A and B are shown apart, each in its own frame.
Chain A
Amino acid sequence: MIALYRTLAARSLLGKKGRSLMTVLGIGLGVTMVVAVALTNGAIMASYQSMLEGVAGRADLQVTASAGQGFPIELLDEVRAVAGVRAAVPAVSSGSPVLFGQKQTVATIYGIDPGQDTLIRDYHLTAGQLPAGDDELAVSAELAGGLGLQLGDRVKLLATTGYSELQVVGVFETGGTVRGSLGPFGAIRLGRAQQLFGKAGKLDTIDLLVAPGARPESVEQAIGQRLNGRARVGTPLERSRDMQKLLDSIVFTLTFASAVSLFAGAFIVYTNVAMGVAERRRDLSILRALGLRRREALWLVLSEAATMGLAGAGLGLLWGYGLASTMAQQMTGRFLVVYGIQASQVVLGLGDVVVALVIGLGVSVLAAYGPAREAVAISPVEAMRPDDVQVNGQETHGLARALAGLALIAAPAATIFATWPREGMLPLPLLRLWGALAAAVLLGVVVLLPVALPAANRRLLRPLQVALFGVTGRLASDNLVRQPRRAAATAAALMVSLMFMVGIGGMGVSQQATFDRWYQKAVGWDLNVSTSFVGIGAQVEMDPALVRTLEAVPGVRLASPQKMGRIVLGDGEPAFLQVFDHRLLRQYSEMPLEAGSWPAAVDALERGGASLISPAIARRLGLGLGDTLKLPSPSGEQAFRIVGILQDVSGFGGTIELDRQDYVRAWNDETSTNVALLVADPARVEAVRQAILDRLGSSTNLLVRSNREFWQELRGYYESFYQLMDGLVAIAILVSGLAIANTLFASVLERRREIGILRAVGTKRGEVVRVVLGEALCTGLVGGSLGIALGLGLEALFVASTEFISGAAMELVAPWRLLGMAVGVALLLAPLVGLLPARWAARLDVVDALRYE
């Protein structure tokens, strides 16, 4: 009998090819998102870790700088003197553009002591040797391949002073201890690297080997005490935590997006299985009458859903892999390059496959469970009778359902409110809990919707439809609530998509608006010159001599060196550090402050010993205006009086602003990330730019940006992220469109006879189309209005919470363009995808339809 049912089920799956395909697609798209997000996150983390591992080699511990430009080389001897240290190997590293003829690529250049470095890392030389002289360079096979390098070739490297020429003396494989996707890299002598990258007398890392018998933990502790904040010590892998923190805020949004599309996919499965089961009610009941047990019947229906779920999961794995490759590449190109992470390899592990299959299977079986239970709950005899007049889908457990729905909405909302951080940052577990709570609120809305729908129909939809379309509208709106659960599921799919669109998109709009306003005030220079500055940092800093050269270019009124980079605070967490010469800065910019007054603050900064901090730092360290900020530096702990709270838009864990004189003194670093220029005659900006290029263009990699160009560049970072989101939104909307079309097909299929009646009593084809499209429109209205409302709520939540999630303050801006689009989608998508079922309904043969049971 089970074999018989399988035959029936298989025939129905194959017979309804379109619908089965739709189900598989729905699940597939949902799983795609989950897989893509997981793989992208995994790929970035893996490449970051393998980079760290590759760089660290066999090192047990690593000493790194707390801020960008390294730490004094004297620390090397101090560390070597610590008991338990077997070897301490110094290195300097920097990303740098490498030129060979017309070809150019970015590589990581390591300054090493070849004699000691082999303790830590293996270099499997395939040709030549490691650098012995100051102008010698050994390159990885990847770098050699990329530029077509041979032994003896001379390449140009970007240094703080401009291009320097080096000769290739060796090529090595990146195998052995140096493994993973480091990207192209090269090795030069330590002293040369210090000179080239403006790190004279400094180191970026010390790799440590612990003596046999010594405990790494106690050695780490001893070194930490010794360093006393001048540099950090840790195991190489600890640094990957920083990366995960940055990724978390991105992944949170991505995970949310994947949950949304999975949600929509589940609705598709729900409507399809419900429809399939309704159609095969008679098959099932005959089998039940012949002695199939209820449990067996349930199992059979679920196994059908499981089959489709598995097929969808397979599809999702494939698509997800493809999408992840694109996403990883995009994210790498846009904002991970500064961390030295190169194009990463997306790896599909067994775990990902299992997770995808479990999710695909779980979601489809879960979605199918309700309709399957209903199908097997009816008695065999009942199902074999033709149902002439279908009872209106009345919600029997209306009250219980309403209460459950309200509870699901109220409890998480209350929890979020109760756990709203009054001070400090939002801990990651709490952030994840909030995500779960937001999902619970959504679930509550979904649970509540079938109960609310009939009431909404009576009060709003029906009168509206009657006013617009007369009796066809009336039929349309009433048809919607006949299967309230299915209608609710469909509307919910649209709701979730639009909520996502408005919520995430609205956050983007708010963020951009906030940014634009900030930029207008805070960035006032005419031109900005750098060699490798990408907006949040540079690969190679600029030598002070360059600043003086720029000052001398005719038409330049003022040249102000600016420094931007990462700093690791005493609490081990990173922050964004910006250093200005405030004597100059005050002539072209005003930093927007949340607390404190700019003239007083800039006076204090000019005098020295003062700083500005962003609210995120204030929260993190529990500091306020007038308090003292203590920062670790190579010259020991430095104290700064907080003279203002910055308005922050960067969201890299908070911003700290110092004056150049303090920075140069404590960090012993005169390089700059970029140079801000004011021109004498604003109308001659282009001429000045040309003059700079003429003067310096041949000796260094020169990036000259106008104020407008820089704005566009920075905006680009936001936009690339939100473009990715746009893609996800499009997928989610596509899936919900499928769900709507699907439900309408089900609706038409069930009501074939009624359509026959309508046609018989004189309803024109066009009017039948209107009845079906009217139902679609109602779905759109319900899903759309809820989605937009929830989306705005979500945006408000995002905007309000971003300050203690990413550290950037945001002002709430109504996303008018998105709202317009959402309204458009709500009003147009459903009728548009409804056209096909509507046309089908209109073309039904009247007599066949009348005969249909």
Chain B
Amino acid sequence: MSEVIAQIERVTREFKRGGSVVRAVDGIDLAVQRGEFVAIMGKSGSGKSTLLHLMSGLQRPTRGRVVLLGHDLGSLSDDALTLLRRQHVGFVFQFFNLLPTLSALENVALPLLLSSVRASEAAGRARQVLETVGLQERADHKPDELSGGQMQRVAIARALVNRPALLFADEPTGNLDSVSSEEILTLLKTTQVEQGQTIIMVTHDAKAAAYGDRVITLRDGRVHEDLATRSVAV
């Protein structure tokens, strides 16, 4: 249980903002083990979202190396990177980000359909995953007919449908009330505990971060604290 699934080395990411260069992530080293639930905390502007984008291959670093599932992302073409995301990475976002024209079931099945899985099989698997998030009855509803919590559960189902090696969650509770937040976090935690799902979650909410085995606090683009929370008595 000590297999490194994602690793970044001296990763820096700079942005141009109005003529000056802003360093959002400043030389971070980090390794995530298979099965871990890592919570990344920090104030807004601390670089936590950028770190997640870099680790997941949504953005490329200005300097440094990102290794995901043994692939050095810098050496992959955009298509290869996209395929890696499609097959091995799941995403959950703050604003649910479901496609409004598709039903819940179709949204969940989307990554499978993109991988050219047969429509009937994709629907079957999507239905299964929807069941695990408790939304089997809402399968045929469009996103605008679902509550925020339900939409986020559909998003999680979509992220999980490919049995990804890694699940990235960017403020998954940022737009939810506290009870829905708890449901979502519990759902994530359950997938970690029961299926050994590796989860990397960015949040500014300490309550959400408390679900992680590791709470990493960023400050000014650097790791301020990396705290293991497991099996420590209070």
Contact = CB atoms under 8 A, between A and B. Distances in A.
Interface in B135-190: 142-144, 151, 158-159, 175
A845 B144 CA distance: 26
A389 interface: yes
Given A470-B113, A471-B113, A765-B79, A760 B100 contact: no
Interface residues of A, number: 30
A390 interface: yes
B144 A471 contact: no
Most interface-central of B85, B116, B142 (chain A CB within 10 A): B85
A850 B92 CA distance: 12
8 contacts: A389-B151, A392-B100, A478-B101, A482-B100, A761-B91, A762-B85, A765-B79, A767-B114
Interface in A765-782: 765-767
Given A475-B102, A761-B111, A767-B114, 5 more contacts: A388-B175, A478-B102, A754-B100, A761-B159, A762-B111
Most interface-central of A388, A475, A759, A765 (chain B CB within 10 A): A388
Contacts, number: 88
B54 to A, nearest CB: 10
B100 A390 contact: yes
B97 A753 contact: yes
A764 B79 contact: yes
B101 A760 contact: no
Contacts of A471: 110, 113-114
B79 A766 contact: yes
A479 B101 contact: yes
Nearest to A482: B101
Given A764-B83, A765-B79, A850-B97, A391 B144 contact: yes
A760 B79 contact: no
A762 B83 contact: yes
A388 B95 contact: yes
Interface of B: 53, 58-59, 78-79, 82-83, 85-87, 89-91, 93, 95-102, 110-111, 113-116, 142-144, 151, 158-159, 175
Nearest to A471: B113
A757 interface: yes
Contacts of A472: 114
A763 interface: yes
A475 B86 CA distance: 17
A378 interface: no
Contact of B86 (A482, A761, A850): A761
Contacts of B111: 761-762
B53 A761 contact: no
Most interface-central of B53, B58, B89, B91 (chain A CB within 10 A): B58
Contacts of B79: 764-766
A372 B95 CA distance: 29
B113 A760 contact: no
Contact of A850 (B93, B114, B116): B93
Contacts of B100: 389-392, 482, 754
Contact of A760 (B58, B102, B115, B151): B58
Contact of B59 (A390, A475, A757, A846): A846
A389 B144 contact: yes
A132 interface: no
A718 to B, nearest CB: 49
A759 B82 contact: yes
Contacts of B95: 388, 753
Interface of A: 388-392, 470-472, 475, 478-479, 482, 753-754, 756-767, 845-847, 850
Most interface-central of B79, B90, B110 (chain A CB within 10 A): B110
Contacts of A765: 78-79, 82
Lowest 5 A-B CB distances belong to which pairs?
Answer: A762-B86, A471-B113, A478-B101, A762-B85, A757-B97
Contacts of B53: 846-847
Contacts of A850: 58, 93, 97
A762 B102 CA distance: 17
Contacts of B85: 760-762
B86 A392 contact: no
A505 to B, nearest CB: 37
B114 A761 contact: yes
Given A392-B100, A753-B97, A765-B79, A846 B87 contact: no
B165 to A, nearest CB: 13
Contact of A846 (B58, B96, B99, B101): B58
A258 to B, nearest CB: 38
Nearest to B90: A761
Contacts of A479: 101
A760 B91 contact: yes
A669 to B, nearest CB: 77
Nearest to A481: B101
Contact of B99 (A757, A759, A764): A757
B199 to A, nearest CB: 16
Nearest to B122: A471
A845 B78 CA distance: 12
B232 to A, nearest CB: 35
Contact of B82 (A392, A478, A753, A764): A764
Contacts of B159: 761
Contacts of B87: 762
A389 B86 contact: no
Contacts of B113: 470-471
B100 to A, nearest CB: 5
Contacts of B59: 845-847
A103 B99 CA distance: 75
Given A389-B143, A761-B158, A754 B99 contact: yes
Contacts of B158: 761
Nearest to B113: A471
A111 B114 CA distance: 85
Contacts of B116: 470
B195 to A, nearest CB: 19
B96 A475 contact: no
A53 B116 CA distance: 78
B57 to A, nearest CB: 9
A475 B90 CA distance: 20
Contacts of A470: 113, 116
Contacts of B86: 761-763
